[in-house]
């Protein structure tokens, strides 16, 4: 996800934007994992990219489709895109 295009990219950190999108997704009723949670080497880590993970192993296809649509709504709301 190109966080540089976020309307607050100049006033918020990448971590703050990631948290905003994560919480917006929770508000939409979908739980995704922040990509920053999956960094193998924490020492000296500087986050430069933003991504999220979704698990679909135990979800029915229709529920996964709905979850991704809800996540998309959260991302669009955060970026101010309709």
- What global pTM score does this model have? 0.87
Q: How far apart are CA 39 and CA 43, in angstroms?
A: 10
Between helix 14-27 and helix 61-79 the angle, nearest 10°, is 130
Residue showing tokens 């917006």: 24
Lowest mean pLDDT, pick from 15-19, 60-64, 69-73: 60-64
Long-range contacts of 67-73 (CB under 8 A, 24+ apart): 67/30, 70/25, 70/28, 70/29, 70/30, 71/25, 71/28, 71/30, 71/32, 73/28
H/E segment holding residue 25: helix 14-27
What mean pLDDT is predicted for residues 42-46? 76
Mean of all residue pLDDT scores within the chain: 91
């Amino acid at each position: 996800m190109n966080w540089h295009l976020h309307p607050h990219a100049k006033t918020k950190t990448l971590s703050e934007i990631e948290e905003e999108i994560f919480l917006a997704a929770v508000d939409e009723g979908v739980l995704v994992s922040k990509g920053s949670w999956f960094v193998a080497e924490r020492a000296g880590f500087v986050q430069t990219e933003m991504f999220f993970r979704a698990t679909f192993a135990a979800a029915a296809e229709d529920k996964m489709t709905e979850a991704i649509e809800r996540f998309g709504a959260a991302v669009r709301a955060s970026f101010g895109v309709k």
